[in-house]
Structures are given as C-alpha cells and as structure tokens.
Amino acid sequence: MVDQDTRYWDRVGMYVTKEFAYEWMDKIKETGAALGKYYDDDIEDYVEGSSPTPRSLTREIEDLFEGEYVAKEVSLIRDVVIEGLKDKIPKTRVQKINLDIKEQSV
C-alpha cells in the first residue's frame, strides 16, 4: 500500500491514507483515547499520559500530507514478534517459522 497517496505517520506507526488518518481521528474523538501512566526517567516517577486535541490532530494530518512523500523502512511484524520470542522458543522452531513464511510468500 506504499504509494504517493500514503504517508508514514509516526503517531500510529504505519503508512496511512489521508482518509484513514481522519477516520482514526474521528474514532479517537468518539471513544476518547485510553490514557494510562508511563514511567518518566527524568523525574523517576509515573506520570499521566495526555491525548492530542482534535485541532492538533487535524493540523498534524494536514502537515503530513502537505509535505513531500518520504519513504520509511518499516520492519515486518513477524520480525518484531520473532525477536521478542527468540529467547522463549527453541531455535529450531524459529527456523521452522521462517521457512513456513518463505514458502507462503512464494
């Protein structure tokens, strides 16, 4: 889906169309962003997260699509999953998963 009508949006971590970006923004407005706490190393304490305003999201989307197209390298989800599991499953199993994926993509 990577073409000139898409942009990589850091906020969601994937390529999106302008239409999808606005749909995502509408869902956030309807449901409200689920906020949690995160650990801030600078103050060594947990702090509340904050959600962007609809106005700031609209500006962010407009800036994203007004700007020039820039290709981003996106790692495949399987690479992320396997990296996270490699210490938890036998090496032979990881090799089998990779082989299965290669066979499916042919």
Tens of pLDDT, residues 52-100: 888 999 999 999 999 888 888 766 666 666 666 666 666 666 666 666 6
Q: Which domain covers residue 80, as residue numbers?
A: 75-106
Does one domain contain both 43 and 62?
Answer: yes
Q: How many domains does the chain have?
A: 2
Count CA atoms within 13 Å of residue 36 on its CB side: 2
Does one domain contain both 30 and 57?
Answer: yes
Residue 1 has pLDDT above 50, yes or no: no
Cα–Cα distance for residue pair 2/72, rounded to 1 Å: 10
Q: Could you give the percent of the chain with pLDDT greater than 90? A: 21
Of the candidates 6, 102, 105, which has an alpha carbon nearest to the alpha carbon of residue 61?
A: 6
Enter the pTM of the model: 0.57
- Per-residue model confidence as pLDDT tens digits over 35-61: 677 788 888 888 887 778 889 999 999
Does one domain contain both 82 and 68?
Answer: no
Of the candidates 14, 20, 16, which has an alpha carbon nearest to the alpha carbon of residue 6?
A: 16
- Per-residue model confidence as pLDDT tens digits over 11-36: 888 889 999 999 999 887 766 655 67
| pLDDT at res. 60 | 95
Helix count and strand count (H, E) for the chain: 4, 4
Does one domain contain both 60 and 23?
Answer: yes
| pLDDT at res. 48 | 81
- Contact between 46 and 39 under an 8 Å Cβ cutoff? The reply is yes
Does one domain contain both 80 and 53?
Answer: no
Does one domain contain both 57 and 99?
Answer: no
Amino acid at 57: L
